[in-house]
A and B are shown apart, each in its own frame.
Chain A
Amino acid sequence: MMNVTQTTLGDLTKKLELKAKEYEILCNKLSKLKEKNIAPNDERLLVVKELFQNNHDDISRINAKIREIKRTN
């Protein structure tokens, strides 16, 4: 039987994988915008920036939880 730690770690691993995929999608979106020669300070980029920021914060939170598991193990 898997213990609680392993189950939590499994969940966090899956969440991290999903966030990594989301990051890839955002990068593709950004590349497409670059191809359109969008100005570096175009307001539309603020939405993209927010998406990148949220993605980053989520990943940081997941990592913090993994660190906590590592610390208590």
Chain B
Amino acid sequence: MFDALPFDVKPSQDFVQFISEQGNKKDLPNLQLLFNLEKKYPKMFIKVMLNFEDAKSLRETLDENGKPIKISWEEALKKFYKNNKYIGITSENVDIAKVFMGKGLSQDAFERAYRLRQKAKSENIPEHLLGKPLGEPTIFDSIEMIKKQTEQELINGKKLIEDLDDKQFTYEWLNKNDPRNDIIGLFCSGCCTIISNYYGKNIARASVTAPDVQNIVVRDAKGNIVSKGAMYVNKKQGYAVINDFELNDRYKSHETYAGVYDVPETSPDEQEREKIFEAFQRGLRAFIEEYDRQNPNNPLKQINIGMEFNRLKKQVERLKKASSNLDVPREYDFRDAITREQYILYQRPQKQIEDGGLER
């Protein structure tokens, strides 16, 4: 038995403890058990020694009724032996082990078969003379094939739905030359048109002429603009402010003039507002990413938004309130952002600010 013991392998402390455990008669019953089993189950000792934790774990099992029980060491070791007849089972030969075990073949036969496989592989012997498998699938095989196709179909279906969901609303940073900037209020009923009598005319004007202001719009599935935000960027100090998020009239049926509304979260209107807000978030992420790429030494640290007349108040209020407002040049007239509190749409993690930007 000890001829087969590998000298380069150190038995685990648990195993040593197991075989040294003393019985009532100051004998070593566990060691004796292994010696006895070795007679009927060749190489039992070395298998258990090399995989003691696995063998030990088999003591905890379930009875026929599914109740947890603890079986004797003898039963556990026999069970372990049955499942691990061969030494040296790896992912490359586990199939040989399974087939050979079923036929009750010896360790030597297992090793010889494995050596033959290794020889064939080292000589690049093809697995099929024609280079591909030929054979009739069993019913099990054909079910497995249908299963694979179904899993792929389910993934495709999920992806298609996600794509359609996302595409219900899409963002766009509106080109400053686009004439819609001049009359953006007509798409998202606010006062932002260059012909307005209200302060919105200054915002509309800035979105065309100011080098540091641009509109982000959200379009519905048909491409109509349904929401917008005018953003001012302070490049020197690395921050930006959006005046507010305006919405198309069709979303305002439940609102008061000031934008106060109360509809259930599950209502289609509210769910669409959520999706519009998500589109804004995607647009902001894209802006930040590109801005930081172009300004690696002075990336954007924060983006705030105003709350006066903000039509996505419920969504924005889930975010953090700014402790102090960020400034916007007076001539741009971002009153919704200046007159009331601002909320933080984006804040660069402090560590990245201290380090002067992301590692690139």
**Interface residues in chain A, defined as those with a beta carbon under 8 Å from any beta carbon in chain B:** 1-3, 5-6, 9, 12-13, 16, 19-20, 23, 27, 30, 40-42, 45-46, 48-49, 52-53, 55-56, 59-60, 62-63, 66-67, 69-70, 73
* Cβ contacts B132-170/A at 8 Å (1 or 0 each): 000000111111001101100110111011011001100
Secondary structure call for the B interface:
helix
Give the distance in Å from the alpha carbon of A23 to the alpha carbon of B157 in the complex.
14
With contact pairs A16-B157, A41-B138 given, residues A70 and B163 touching in the complex (Cβ less than 8 Å): yes
B160 touches A40 (CB 8 A): no
Q: How far is the CB of B275 from chain A (nearest CB, A)?
A: 10
Which chain B residues border A41 with CB–CB below 8 Å? Answer: 138-140
> Are B157 and A53 interface neighbours, CB within 8 A?
no
> In the complex, A66 Cα to B349 Cα: how many Å?
40
Q: Is the CB of B150 within 8 A of A23?
A: yes
Q: Which of chain B's residues have a CB closer than 8 A to the CB of A59?
A: 150, 153-154, 157
Interface range, B side: 20 to 34
State the total of A-B contacts with C-beta under 8 angstroms: 71
Closest CB of chain A to B294's CB: distance in Å?
Answer: 33
Which residue of chain A lies nearest to B221 when distances are taken between CB atoms in the complex? A73
Is the CB–CB distance between A49 and B153 below 8 Å? no
Scan residues 49-69 of chain B and give those whose CB is less than 8 A from a CB of chain A.
none
Q: Looking at the complex, which one of B147, B153, B167, B168 makes contact with A63 (CB distance below 8 Å)?
A: B153
Question: Do residues A9 and B139 form an inter-chain contact, with CB atoms below 8 A?
Answer: no
B147–A52 CB distance below 8 A: yes
| Residue of chain A at shortest CB distance from B141 | A40
Apart from A6-B168, A56-B149, A60-B153, 12 more pairs, CB < 8 Å: A2-B268, A5-B221, A40-B140, A41-B139, A41-B140, A46-B139, A49-B142, A59-B153, A59-B154, A62-B157, A63-B156, A69-B164
A21 to B154, CA, bound (A): 11
A47 to B158: give the CA distance in the assembly, Å: 28
Taking a contact as CB atoms under 8 Å apart, the answer to whether A40 and B138 are in contact is yes
Q: How far is it, in angstroms, between the C-alpha of A63 and the C-alpha of B153 when the chains are bound?
A: 7
Knowing A40-B138, A45-B139, A70-B163 are in contact, say whether A55-B150 is a contact too (CB < 8 A).
yes
Q: A27-B147, A45-B143, A52-B146 are in contact. Are A70 and B160 (CB under 8 A)?
A: yes
Question: What does the 1/0 interface line of B276-310 toward A look like (CB < 8 Å)?
Answer: 00000000000000000000000000000000000
The one of B150, B160, B221 in contact with A56, judged by C-beta atoms closer than 8 angstroms, is: B150
30 sampled A-B residue pairs with Cβ under 8 A = A2-B268, A9-B161, A12-B161, A16-B158, A19-B154, A23-B154, A30-B143, A40-B141, A41-B138, A41-B140, A45-B140, A45-B143, A46-B139, A49-B139, A52-B143, A52-B146, A52-B150, A56-B153, A59-B154, A62-B157, A63-B153, A63-B157, A63-B160, A66-B157, A66-B164, A69-B164, A70-B164, A73-B164, A73-B167, A73-B221
CA distance A39 to B57 in the complex (A): 31
Q: Which residues of A sit under 8 angstroms from B164, Cβ to Cβ?
A: 9, 66, 69-70, 73
Contacts of B141 in A (CB 8 A): 40
What residues of chain A lie closer than 8 Å to B139, measured between beta carbons?
A: 40-42, 45-46, 49
CA separation between A73 and B220, bound complex, in Å? 11
Specify which of B143, B149, B156 is in contact with A48 (CB 8 Å cutoff). Answer: B143
What are the nearest 7 A-B pairs in CB distance? A40-B138, A40-B140, A45-B139, A56-B150, A52-B146, A59-B153, A66-B160
